[in-house]
Amino acid sequence: MSSQTDAPAEPKQYSGACHCGKFKYTFPHAPFENGEADVFSCNCSLCTAKGLLLLRIPAKDFTFTAGTLDELTRYEWNTGKYLHHFCPVCGTEAVLTYDEMVTVNVRTVPGLDLEKLKLKKFDGANLL
Ligand SMILES: [Zn+2]
């Protein structure tokens, strides 16, 4: 009989894209699509308006395979700590950047069943 221990899950390589496909990206993260890891749902006014569902990735692990961060349109608001980047063609918000982290909008990862995600509230309305 073997007793199972909770070893950290091996990261999986995910890919995402804006709606029109001008921007594509890939990033590693522990599996999350069946609720294995938390996905953050922020209650600030912008995330609420856009419906963002978020995962943070170290910037060094995040790679654009089509387009670049500079080609996305940047939106800065509030404290300006988080920079929002969206496609100038289709308007999809792909990522937020903050310090050395990239926060991916997981709604841009194709094939996810959003009902299966384990959403965790992030109180951005009060914390940002
Ligand atoms: Zn686009």
Q: Mean of the per-residue pLDDT values for the chain? A: 92
In a domain, 6, yes or no: no
Nearest to 20 by CA among 90, 112, 67, 125: 90
CB within 8 Å of 59: residues ≥ 6 apart: 97, 100, 101, 102
- Domains in the chain, number: 1
Residue 18 CA to ligand 1 center (angstroms) comes to 4
Residue 86 CA to ligand 1 center (angstroms) comes to 8
Domain around 48: 12-127
In a domain, 1, yes or no: no
On whether the pTM is more than 0.85, the answer is yes
In a domain, 94, yes or no: yes
In a domain, 70, yes or no: yes
Q: What is the pLDDT of residue 115?
A: 96
Residue 24 CA to ligand 1 center (angstroms) comes to 9
pLDDT in tens, 53-100: 999 999 999 999 999 999 999 999 888 888 999 999 999 999 999 989
Element (DSSP H or E) covering residue 124: helix 124-127
pLDDT-derived band at 2, boundaries 50, 70, 90: very low
In a domain, 35, yes or no: yes
Residue 126 CA to ligand 1 center (angstroms) comes to 31
In a domain, 97, yes or no: yes
pLDDT-derived band at 127, boundaries 50, 70, 90: confident
In a domain, 19, yes or no: yes
The CATH number covering residue 22 comes to 2.170.150.70
In a domain, 24, yes or no: yes
